[in-house]
Structure 1
Amino acid sequence: MVVGEFAESRDLVIVGGGPGGYHAAIRAAQLGLQVTLIEKEKLGGICLNEGCIPSKVFAYAAKQHASIAHFSELGIEIDKASFDYDKLLRYKEKIVTQLRKGIETLCAANKIEIIQGEANFIAENRIGVEAGHQFDIYEFNHAIIATGSIPVYPKFLPADRKNIYLSYEMYSLSEMPNKLIVYGSDYVSLEIAFSYRNLGADVTILLDNGKNDFPFDESINRELKRILKKQKIEVQRGFHIDNVTSHEDGVAVRLSKNENAITMEGTHLYIGAEACANVMSLGLERLGVEMTADSFIQTDQQMRTSLPGIFAIGDATNGIPSAIKAMKQGKIAAEEIAGLNSEADLTFLPTIVHTIPPIASVGLTEKEAVEQGYQVKTSQFSYSGNSMAMITNEKSGLTKVIKDKETDLLLGFHTIGAGAVELISTGTSALEMAGRDEDLSFPLYPHPSFNETLLEAVEGLSEKAVHIPPAKRKKAESQAW
Structure 2
Amino acid sequence: MVVGEISQERNLIIIGGGPGGYSAAIRGAQLGLSVTLIEQAELGGVCLNEGCIPSKIFTHAADMRSDIAHFQELGVGNMEKLVDIKKLVSYKDKVIKKLRSGVESLCNENKIEIIRGKVTFLAVDKIGVENGHQFDIFEFEQVIIATGSSPTMPSAIQEKGERILLPHELFKLEEIPKHLIVRGQDTIALEAASSFAALGAQVSIVIDDQAGFPFDESINKELNRLFKKRKMKVYKELELISTHETEDGITLTFQTDKNVEETIRGSYLFVSGTMRPNLEALGISRFGIVQTAEGFIKVDGNMQSSIPSIYAIGDVTEGPLSAVKAIKQGKAAVASIAGEQTEVNLTFMPVVAHTIPPIVSVGLTEQIALDFGLAIRVSQFALGGNGYATITGKKDGFIKVISDATTEIIQGIHMIGEGAVEMSGSFVQLLEMAAKEEDIKFPHYAHPGFNEGLLEAVEGLIGQAIHAAPIKRKDMLTI
TM-based fold match above 0.5:
yes
Residues 282-361 of structure 1 aligned to structure 2 (within 5 Å): 282-361=282-361
Q: Which residue of 2 aligns with 1:480?
A: 478
Give the whole-Å Cα distance in 2 for the aligned partners of 1:81 and 1:174. Answer: 17
Residue type of the partner of 2:219? I
CA distance in 1, matches of 2:437, 2:74: 38
Distance 1:472 1:104, change over 3 A: farther
- Give the Cα–Cα distance (whole angstroms) in 2 for the partners of residues 80 and 130 of structure 1: 51
In the other structure, the counterpart of 1:69 is 69
Tell me how far 1:162 sits from its aligned partner. Answer: 2.4
Q: Which residue of 1 is the match for residue 232 of structure 2?
A: 233
Does residue 1:260 correspond to 2:260, yes or no? yes
- Partner amino acid, structure 1, of 2:242: N
Aligned position for 1:197: 197
Match of 1:420 in 2: 420
Larger deviation: 248-257 or 448-457? 248-257
Number of paired residues?
478
Distance 1:215 1:79, change over 3 A: closer
Question: In 1, distance between residues paired with 2:472 and 2:248?
Answer: 51
Q: Kindly report which structure 2 residues correspond to 1:51-450, keeping only aligned pairs within 5 A, or say none.
A: 51-78=51-78, 80-207=80-207, 209-257=208-256, 258-450=258-450
Bigger shift: residues 164-173 or 44-53: 164-173
Supply the distance in 2 between the matched residues of 1:219 and 1:27 (Cα, whole angstroms).
40
CA contact (8 A) 1:460 1:473 kept: no
Tell me the SS of whatever aligns to 2:265: strand
Aligned-residue identity in percent: 49
Cα deviation, residue 373, structure 1: 2.0
Write out per-residue CA displacement over residues 126-164 of structure 1, whole angstroms, 9 at most, x where no aligned residue.
011000000000010000000000112211003142200
Give the alignment of 1:22-37 within 5 angstroms: 22-37=22-37
Report Cα offsets for 1:194-247 as digits up to 9, x if no partner: 11111110000001x223420100111111111111111111111111111122
C-alpha distance after superposition, 1:398-431 (max 9, x if no partner): 1000111011111000000000101121110011
SS in structure 2 at match of 1:318: coil
CA distance in 2, matches of 1:77, 1:120: 57
Instruction: Report the CA distance shift for 1:136/1:308 in structure 2 as closer, same or farther (over 3 A).
Output: same
What residue in structure 2 maps to residue 469 of structure 1?
469
CA contact (8 A) 1:158 1:246 kept: no
Amino acid at match of 2:99: L
Q: TM-score, normalised by structure 2?
A: 0.98
Amino acid at match of 2:180: L
Deviates more, 1:79-88 or 1:275-284: 79-88
Cα deviation 1:83-128 (Å, max 9, x = unaligned): 1100000000010000000000100010000000001111011011
Alignment check: 8 A CA contact 2:149 2:276 kept: yes
How many Å apart are 1:80 and its aligned residue?
A: 3.5
Looking at structure 1, the residues matched to 80 and 268 of structure 2 have their Cα atoms a distance apart, in angstroms, of 28
CA distance in structure 2 between the partners assigned to 1:229 and 1:44 by the alignment: 37
Deviation for aligned residue 1:82: 2.8
Look up the SS of the partner of 1:470 in the other structure: coil
Residues 463/24 of structure 1: CA separation in 2 closer, same or farther (3 Å cut) = same
Equivalent residue of 1:263, what SS?
Answer: strand
RMSD of aligned Cα (Å): 1.2
Cα separation, 2, equivalents of 1:103 and 1:235? 39
Unaligned stretches of 5+ in structure 2? none
Given that 2:29 and 2:112 are in contact with CA atoms closer than 8 Å, whether structure 1 keeps it comes out as yes
Distance, in Å, in 1 between the alignment partners of 2:350 and 2:26 is: 24
Secondary structure of the residue that 2:171 maps to in structure 1?
helix
- Cα distance in 2 between the residues matched to 1:192 and 1:80: 22
The aligned amino acid for 2:438 is E
Are 2:30 and 2:110, in contact at CA under 8 Å, matched by a contact in 1?
A: yes
Q: String of CA shifts for 1:303-324, please: whole Å, max 9, x gaps.
A: 0011011100001111111000
Listed one character per residue, the Cα deviations across residues 297-340 of structure 1 (whole Å, up to 9, x for unaligned) are: 11111100110111000011111110000000000001000010
CA distance in 1, matches of 2:327, 2:158: 36
Q: Runs of 5+ in structure 1 lacking a partner?
A: none
Q: 1:149 and 1:32, CA in 2 relative to 1: closer, same or farther beyond 3 A? A: same
TM-score, normalised by the number of residues in structure 1: 0.98
Kindly provide the amino acid, as one letter, of the partner of residue 302 in structure 2: Q
Distance 1:109 1:290, change over 3 A: same
Please give the alpha-carbon distance, in whole angstroms, between the structure 2 residues aligned to 1:441 and 1:140: 52
Aligned in 2, Cα 1:79/1:438: closer, same or farther, shift over 3 Å?
Answer: closer
Instruction: Report deviation, 1:361.
Output: 0.9
* 49-58 or 63-72, larger mean C-alpha shift: 63-72
Which shifted more, 186-195 or 294-303?
294-303
Aligned residue identity for 1:380: Q
Distance 1:302 1:473, change over 3 A: farther
